Amino acid sequence: MTTPTDTAARERTRASGADLKAAFLAASSWLNANSDRIDALNVFPVPDGDTGTNMSLTFQAAADALRDVSDQASVGDVARVAYEAAMLGARGNSGVILSQLLRGFSTALAQETDLTAPNLAAALAEASVVAYRGVSKPMEGTILTVARLTGDAAQAAARSESTLSAVLDAAQRAATEAVAATPTQLEVLRKAGVVDSGGEGYRVIVEAVWMWSTGRSLEQAAESHPHSRALLEGVEEGGSTYGFCTEFLLRECTMPAEDVKTTMEALGDSVIAVGDANLLRVHVHTLRPGQALEFAVDHGTLVKVKVDNMQLQNEAFAAARRAPPGADVPPSTSVGVIAVAAGEGFAEVFRSMGATVVQGGQTMNPSVQDILAAVNSSGYKELIVLPNNSNIVLTARHVDELTPHEVRVVVTSTVPQGVGALLAFNFESDLETNVAAMEHAAHAVHTIEVTQAVRDAEVDQVAVRAGQMMGIYDGDVVAATESADDAVLRSLDHARVDALEIVTIYYGAEATDADAQALASRLREGHPGLNIEVVAGGQPHYPFVVSLE
């Protein structure tokens, strides 16, 4: 990236499309470097916080697309490419909102050749306006507030200042203050002792662009910044036959990014190589992470390595590609159903009922493109998407405008709600009738989720200590106990047990059938006559997900 020198940089009043591109690439790297820290800012002390990852992957999609953009492109074109790629790559609610911020930013700059203090400020303001419009019930104390105050501050600064750096400085200060204030606006943040994660993600982006505008290199910043995440995480090279999500940061790379990408593509897939010779971020899914790292060591200074065993995701992925049972049977209806699910058992439950499964859920939210691909290859003209997670609802809603298929989203926040909705699917009904029936059915299902707290917190009036099992009833933490069984039993006190027709215990990857049977026995002891079924869900992080119908 072209990093202007210090003083000259600070006095600039005008920047080209190539400069904006460099700024975006810097922001992508910076967001990536901060993503784990942002992930940790989860209100719920659950191990699936993913705002940082979602925003980072969304922005990375934009950065990746920008690498093909000519240096002669206008700032309007650069911003448009960034927005379009981010929209397709958007993951999670925060990713979708980020793509909307970029949409507003690019709309404001559409006719501009160069970036100036006034149009930059206007673009930051418009970003916030468009993002607010994209959310049905905007809440203060979130990324929206941070974006709005950032835009306001930029516009105020642009009235008196003419340099880009001065506008960005005002913007990043406002962003920092806005993020710090989020716990005073949202009670849940205050109780959890965190600032808003999405707002922090946006602040990090603004900060990166500001740093770029002052000529500071990202590396210097990474070394001096108190927040930068731990550089090295353990490298696992187990005997698994499945893939590893391998990421590394390479300094002083002796090879062009394009060639690094080609090399990585020979080792695996999902290759991303962004940055330049100074700092190159590489992402690859490979069976041989060792080879990828060896290559890295040979071609530069390996700064940071992260290798995740993707065994679970991959097993599930392979199964998703298997033909569903009865695949030779012609479609029974003109309406298809797509369900998002994590865990092979959950995926199988949906597939066994005729739905197409998109892998993802609490730990890895699917992108707009993942769902879009499933829609386009479904063979159905009309489709219903079950997001099965509140953080996937917005992503799913964006699919309709990108495809000739008619796509409707039935809002389901948990897998049991999704199963309940799918059970109500009528093969003989049309799209609208099915959507109405499925929404109704989803609301009739209550869900208990049990997971382990990753830190101390007070959530929903419940004091939780790290390591305790939390019982979550319809999204609210209602119990913190020592055992998963107790968490389920305590959570059940919040349900109208006498009105239940059937209880289904889905046990996760970390629990066994015997564990679930033992839990079922305890439930029967306390509630004789309760109809209980045990099913393997295979979901990560949640030993039990219980459906109450």
Partner 1 sequence: MTIGVATDSTADLPPALVERYQPTMVPLVVNWDNQTFRDKIDLSTAEFYRRLRTSKSLPKTGAPSMAAFETAFREQLERHDAVVSVNLASGLSGTYEVARRAAESVDPQRIHVVDSTSVSIAISWLVEMAARLAEEGVAVNEIVARLEDARGRLRILALLETLEFLQRGGRIGRAAALAGTLLSVKPILSVRDGEVAPVERVRTMNSALRRLVELVVAMGPIEKLGVMDGDAPTNAAEVARQLQAHYPELTVDRGELGPVVGTHGGPGVVGVAVLLAR
Q: Which residues of this chain interact with partner 1, rule CB under 8 A? A: 325-326, 329-330, 332, 345, 348-349, 352-354, 419, 423-428, 501-502, 504, 531, 533, 535, 549
Tell me whether residue 105 or residue 425 sits nearer to partner 1 (CB atom).
425
Cβ closest to partner 1, residue 354 vs residue 360: 354
Q: What 8-state DSSP symbol labels residue 334?
A: S
Residue 395 vs 504, nearer CB to partner 1? 504
What minimum distance in Å lies between the beta carbon of 528 and partner 1?
17
**DSSP code of residue 142:** S
Token representation of residue 260: 């690094």
Helix segments in 110-217, DSSP class H: 117-133, 143-160, 164-185, 187-192, 197-214
Q: In whole angstroms, give the CA distance from residue 402 to residue 389.
A: 21
Other CB atoms within a 10 A radius of the CB of residue 102 amount to 29
State in angstroms the smallest separation of the CB of 501 from partner 1.
5
Other Cβ atoms closer than 10 A to 247: 19
Contact 413, 547 (CB under 8 A): no
Instruction: Considering the complex, state which of residue 402 and residue 437 has its C-beta at the smaller distance from partner 1.
Output: 437
Residue 513 structure tokens: 């059938």
Rounded Cα distance, 105 and 171, in Å: 14
Of the pair 209, 347, the CB lying nearest partner 1 is at 347
Q: What is the DSSP letter of 391?
A: G
Instruction: Give 334's contacts (C-beta < 8 A, 6+ positions apart).
Output: 380, 381, 382, 430
Considering the complex, state which of residue 254 and residue 433 has its C-beta at the smaller distance from partner 1. 433
Nearest to 409 by CA among 380, 379, 389, 429: 389
Please identify, using beta-carbon distances, which residue of 254 and 332 lies nearer to partner 1.
Answer: 332
In whole angstroms, the minimum distance from the beta carbon of 332 to partner 1 comes to: 5
> Residue 546 CB, nearest distance to partner 1 (Å)?
14
| Closer of 121 and 519 to partner 1 (Cβ) | 519
Helix axis angle, 117-133 to 143-160, nearest 10°: 160
Give the pairing type, strands 279-286 and 532-536.
unpaired
CB of 325 to partner 1, least distance (A): 4
Shortest distance (Å) from residue 270 CB to partner 1? 30
Per-position b or e across 379-418, b if 16+ CB within 10 A of its CB: ebebbbbbbbbebbbbbbbbbbebeebebbbbbbbbbbbb
Q: How far is the CB of 535 from partner 1 (least distance, A)?
A: 6
> Which residue(s) pair with 302 in the sheet?
250
Give whichever of 325 and 526 is closer to partner 1, judged by the CB atom: 325
Enter the DSSP assignment of 401: G
Closest approach of Cβ 330 to partner 1, in Å?
A: 7
Helix or strand (DSSP H, E) at 93: helix 92-109
**At its nearest, how many Å lie between partner 1 and the CB of residue 491?**
20
Residue type, 207: E
